[in-house]
Structure 1
Amino acid sequence: MPQPGYNLARFDFVSIRLAVLCAQTGSLTTAARECNLVLPAASRRLKELEAATGCQLFVRHSRGLDITSAGRVFMRRGLALLQEMDGLVSELADLRHGIARHVRLFAGTAAINQFLPPLMAEYTHLHPEVHIDLEEQVSEHVVQALREGRADMGVFVEGPDTEGLDVKDFRQDELVLILPRHHPLVGKSPLAFADALDESWVSLNPGAALLQQQQSAAMAAGRTLKLRMQVRSFDAVGHMVASGLGIALLPKAAALPIVRAMQLSWRPLKDEWAQRRLKVGIRKEADSLVVNFRDFLHLPSQNAKAT
């Protein structure tokens, strides 16, 4: 609930956008120009916004603006509000052009790199009135977004707690080791993950199912994963390995094009956990359109496996 003294009537989207731009640029002049406001009007709006929130959002000085801790909170929340409003305007415009519904799909890197694009293309061809908004997130965040209602559907690697969600199988994939071409571990026979733990590793950012699996497996072996670098994408992982900065695990279907393009080597793992299941989940109260899309993704996945 708003605290006493907050005047929500003073919160309009022009003022919110002005404050966000001030935070991003550190300049009231630049922010005012972007909002098509004269400088005195912009200055007055910013002061009214601070009075309405009861917080000082910026410290003014001769060189521009310094953001306060309250300003950082306002920027983060304000930016989210502006993005939601942009989404609303976009969906209303789509309605005028015959697009009846947006489905918010959150998915992990593995699903996006290996499986989802052709399925999304096929579904939108069959249902041109539906627009799929795809956002890439690590598996933990995909499940969290489902719980919080920020996503209508999620595709993620098995592992996060999915109690209360309606979850079905999506695909399977296989994790393989990728290495510089002349690395001592290069070979064709399957290798135990524990036998590679003396090496430095490159992996994805915190929250990624791939990183969690590596760390769990290292702990089970009584070892520590020597994590040297963390990056956001499979391609970035490949570039780090190609530069000799470490070795890595990637899903085989995504790894093979990277291996060929960057002249790397790959090797299978002996470990059972290297065979992974990907899931597709929705909330139990999801409407019929979301259920239909989930079933479209689920049904072709029977016995399907990454090659």
Structure 2
Amino acid sequence: MNPMVKHLSRFDLVSVRLLVDCVQHGSLSAAAERSHLALPAASRRIKDLELAVGADLFERQGRRLQATPAGRTFYRHGVGILQAVELLGAELTNMQLGTLTQVRLSASTAALSQSLSPILRDYAREFPRVRVHLEEQVSEMVVKSLHEGRADVGVFVEGQETQGLDVHAFDQDELVFVFPPGHRFSHEQTPLAFAEALDEDWISFSDGAALLRRLHEAAHAEGRVLKLRMQTRSFDTMCHLVAARMGIAMLPGVAAQIARGMGLVCRPLAEPWAIRQLLVATRSGIVNPHASSLVLFIREHSRRHLTEREGK
């Protein structure tokens, strides 16, 4: 056994949660209060952790705590430990309620809006004793959750690093421009080249979103910089900002319904990258029959839906 593991195995979840709270709040007193510990007892626990690790976990700046590299590493794994315990509790509760197991699904906003919601509805009907724990994240964080073991199944937009994952394409979407009515590009419906819109102010998603990364890459290829004015986490908020004439946006075609419902104008993008693949993935080498069942269900459901669309 690694000697470090021996040292750390002496500590309980109270110490782990205390350190996590210290990092999140930057204050030992606030963390102690959340853990229902007296301040001297909390201080002793942090010092004991530092002795076990053999390194300082925090830099003391007056009453503020700043995590050191060792502290940030402990924090990252500590969060994972606490989440695993919470999931354990949830699964045990589910077993008591008659739900046999839980599958952790991390999905991007684009995937949820495009086709995943009805798939999850049908999966719940067909497998009522399997509970899907869903977390919505940007595509970059979906992949990170898979690699770190915090998700059993991930659904995200292409363009992420997928080494170490078993990946399958299951659907696609098409990006469109979104303009306020009366905008200089809103009077035609012919496809518009991305380069023509680079003089505009843009509204897009938060950092880590596959779409924002694609926009930055496309602007760089044109020798330009994307004039990003505002960032948000939802299609709805983005459309409201476009309606307020704060900038233009680009959205998946399925979200265009929201835009049109608000009186905004959608116009096709001329570039081939307007078509994006949606991917479903699990960690390579991890055998989880319920996760595999969900992946297969997503792929089969999408295949049937595609056949129906082509038959119309």
Q: In 2, distance between residues paired with 1:26 and 1:270?
A: 48
Distance 1:15 1:201, change over 3 A: same
Tell me the distance in 2 between the aligned counterparts of 1:14 and 1:52. Answer: 16
The aligned counterpart of 1:172 is 172
**Residue 295 of structure 1: aligned partner:** 296
Match of 2:198 in 1: 197
Report the equivalent of 2:249: 248
After superposition, what is the alpha-carbon deviation per residue over 1:141-194, rounded to whole angstroms, capped at 9, x for unaligned? 434544554432222223335466443332222211111222111124122222
Structure 1's 298 and 214: CA in aligned 2 closer, same or farther, altered over 3 A? same
Cα 1:9–1:149 change in 2 (3 A) is closer
The corresponding residue for 1:154 is: 154
Q: CA offset at residue 17 of structure 1?
A: 1.6
Asked whether the equivalents of residues 6 and 54 of structure 1 are also in contact (C-alpha less than 8 Å), the reply is: no
Deviation at 1:72, TM superposition (A): 4.1
Q: TM-score, normalised by structure 2?
A: 0.82
Q: How far, CA to CA, are the matches of 2:110 and 2:151 in structure 1?
A: 18
- More displaced, 229-238 or 4-13? 4-13
Q: Deviations over 1:37-76 (max 9, x none)?
A: 3444333323322322233344668x74423424444334
Partner of 2:213: 212
Q: Quote the Cα distance in structure 2 between the aligned partners of 1:5 and 1:270.
A: 55
Partner amino acid for 2:244? S
Partner of 2:240: 239
1:250 positional shift? 0.1
Confirm or deny: 8 A CA contact 2:23 2:67 kept in the other structure.
Answer: no
Distance 1:235 1:121, change over 3 A: same
* Shift in Å, 1:284: 5.0
Deviates more, 1:20-29 or 1:248-257: 20-29
Partner of 1:168, secondary structure, is strand
Partner of 1:97: 97
Q: Give, in whole Å, the separation in 2 of the partners of 1:234 and 1:96.
A: 38
| In 2, Cα distance between equivalents of 1:22 and 1:143 | 27
- In the alignment, does 2:66 pair up with 1:67? yes
Deviations 1:257-298 (A, max 9, x none): 14424x432222233321222122234544332222112111
Q: Does the alignment pair 1:35 with 2:14?
A: no
Q: Distance in 1 between matches of 2:218 and 2:27?
A: 49
Aligned-pair RMSD on alpha carbons? Answer: 3.0
Please give the alpha-carbon distance, in whole angstroms, between the structure 1 residues aligned to 2:284 and 2:18: 39
Query: 2:230 corresponds to which residue?
Result: 229
Deviations along 1:234-270, one digit per CA (max 9) or x if unpaired, are: 2332233233332110012113214424x43222223
After the TM superposition, which of the residue ranges 295-304 and 67-76 deviates more from structure 2?
67-76
Question: How far 1:140 sits from its partner (Å)?
Answer: 3.8
CA contact (8 A) 2:152 2:291 kept: yes
Kindly provide the amino acid, as one letter, of the partner of residue 66 in structure 2.
I
Separation (CA, whole Å) in 2 of partners of 1:161 and 1:40: 45
Which residue of structure 1 lines up, in the alignment, with residue 82 of structure 2?
Answer: 82
What are structure 1's unaligned runs of at least 5 residues? none
Cα–Cα, structure 1 residues 297 and 32, in superposed 2: closer, same or farther, change >3 Å?
Answer: same
State whether residues 19 and 75 of structure 2, in contact with CA within 8 Å, keep that contact through their aligned partners in structure 1: yes
Judge conservation of contact 1:156–1:279 (CA < 8 Å) in 2: yes
Q: 1:226 to 1:60 in 2, by over 3 A?
A: closer
